Amino acid sequence: MTLRDLPGRWLTFNQTLLFTVLFCLVLLAFVGSLVVGPSTVGWKELLGILFGNEYGPTRMILLEIRLPRALLGLMIGITLGLSGAALQGFLRNPLAEPGLIGVSASASFGAVVMIYTGLSGLFALALPLGGILGALVAVFLVQLISGRNGGTLRLILAGIAVTSFASALTSVALNLSPDAFAALEIMFWLMGSLADRSFEHVWLSLPFMMIGWGLLLNLGRSLDALTLGEEAAYSLGFDLKRIRTLMVIGIALSVGAATAVSGTIGFVGLVVPHLLRKWVGHKPSTLLLASALGGACLTLIADIAVRIFSPGQELKLGVLTALIGVPFFLSLILQTQKNLP
Amino acid sequence: MKLLDAAGLSVSFDGIEIFSGVDFSIGAGELVGLIGPNGAGKTTLLRTLSGLLAYNSDKVHFLGQPLSDINRKQLARDLAYLPQGNESHWPVTVDALVMLGRLPHSNPWRGPSTKDHEIVRQVLQACDVSQFAKRSVNTLSGGERARVMLARVLAVEPRLLLADEPVTGLDPGHQLDVMERFRQLSDLGMGIVIVIHDLTLAARYCHRLVLLSEHKVVAQGRPTEVLSSQNLARCFDIRAHIGSAEGRAFVVPIERC
Specify whether the CB–CB gap between B145 and B88 falls below 8 A.
Answer: yes
CA-atom Rg of chain A in angstroms: 20
Instruction: Tell me the one-letter amino acid at A64.
Output: E
**Shortest distance, CA B110 to any CA of chain A (angstroms):** 7
What does the pLDDT read at residue A10?
55
| B47 neighbourhood in chain A, CB within 8 Å | 231
Q: Where are the domains of chain B?
A: 2-256
> Between these two residues, A12 and A232, which has the higher pLDDT value?
A232
Residue A250 sits in which domain range? Answer: 11-336
A149 confidence band (pLDDT: 50, 70, 90): low
A3 found inside a domain: no
- Is pLDDT at A250 greater than 50 in this prediction? yes
pLDDT band of residue A5 (cuts 50, 70, 90) is very low
pLDDT of residue B132: 93
In what helix (H) or strand (E) does residue B17 lie, and over which residues does it extend? strand B16-27
What confidence score (pLDDT) does residue A4 get? 42
- Please tell me the distance in Å from B18's CA to the nearest CA on chain A: 19
Q: Is the per-residue pLDDT at A6 higher than 50?
A: no
* Res. A182 pLDDT band, cuts 50 70 90: confident
Q: Residue A8: its chain B contacts at CB < 8 A?
A: 110-114
Q: Give the pLDDT score at A339.
A: 57
Closest by CA position to A252, among listed A141, A334, A113, A123: A141
Check if the beta carbon of residue A307 is closer than 8 Å to that of residue A320.
no
- Residue A338, pLDDT score: 62
pLDDT classification of A11: cutoffs 50, 70, 90: low
Average pLDDT over residues A288-316: 91
Q: Confidence band (pLDDT; 50, 70, 90) for A1?
A: very low
- What's the angle, vertex CA A29, arms to CA A24 and CA A31, rounded to 5? 95
Residue A265 falls within a domain, yes or no?
A: yes
Rounded average pLDDT over A134-161? 86
Q: Say how far apart CA A189 and CA A198 lie, in whole Å.
A: 16
The whole-number pLDDT of residue A337 equals 63
In a domain, A200, yes or no: yes
Closest CB from B87, B91, B112 relative to A229: B87
pLDDT digits (tens, 9 = 90+) for A65-100: 899 999 999 999 999 999 999 999 999 988 888 888
Nearest to B164 by CA among B31, B45, B18: B45
B114 near A CB under 8 A: yes
d(CA A297, CA A77) in angstroms, rounded, equals 7
Q: How many contacts (CB atoms, under 8 Å) link A and B? A: 85
User: Which of A158-167, A178-187, B8-17, B168-177 has the lowest average pLDDT?
Assistant: A178-187
For chain B (257 residues), the mean pLDDT of every run of 10, in chain order, is: 92 89 95 95 94 86 92 93 91 95 88 92 95 93 94 96 94 95 96 96 96 94 94 95 91 92
Question: What confidence score (pLDDT) does residue A177 get?
Answer: 82
Please judge whether B97 and A8 are an interchain contact, meaning their C-beta atoms are less than 8 angstroms apart.
no
Pairing type for strands B208-213 and B31-35 reads: parallel
Looking at the complex, report in whole angstroms how far the Cα of residue A91 sits from the nearest Cα belonging to chain B.
Answer: 10
CATH of the domain at A312: 1.10.3470.10
Q: What is the pLDDT of residue B190?
A: 97
State whether residue B134 sits within 8 Å of chain A by CB: no
Q: If you average pLDDT over residues A109-120, what whole number do you get?
A: 88
Q: Identify whether A6 is part of a domain.
A: no
Mean pLDDT of chain A: 87
Distance CA A162, CA A141 (A): 7
d(CA B247, CA B239): 22
Least confident of A179-193, A282-296, B13-27: A179-193
Residue A5 inside a domain? The answer is no
Is the predicted pLDDT of residue A157 greater than 80, yes or no? yes
Query: What DSSP designation does A289 have?
Result: H
- State which residue of chain A sits closest to B93, comparing Cα positions: A281
Q: Residue A127: its pLDDT value, please?
A: 86
Is residue A78 assigned to a domain?
Answer: yes
Say which of B47, B103, B136 has its CB closest to residue A236: B103
pLDDT of residue A329: 77
Mean of pLDDT values over A188-210: 91
B75 contacts A228? CB cut-off 8 A: no
> Is B105:B133 a contact under the CB 8 Å cutoff?
no
Tell me how many domains chain A contains. Answer: 1
Strand-pair category, B2-13 with B16-27 = antiparallel
- Residues in A closer than 8 angstroms to B80, CB to CB, are 235
Q: Please state, as a whole number, how many other Cβ atoms lie within 10 Å of the Cβ of residue B128.
A: 16
CB B170 within 8 A of CB B9: no
| pLDDT value at residue A221 | 94
| Min Cα separation B249/chain A (Å) | 34
Cα separation of B257 and B243, whole Å? 19
Instruction: Determine the topology of domain B2-256 in CATH.
Output: Rossmann fold (3.40.50)
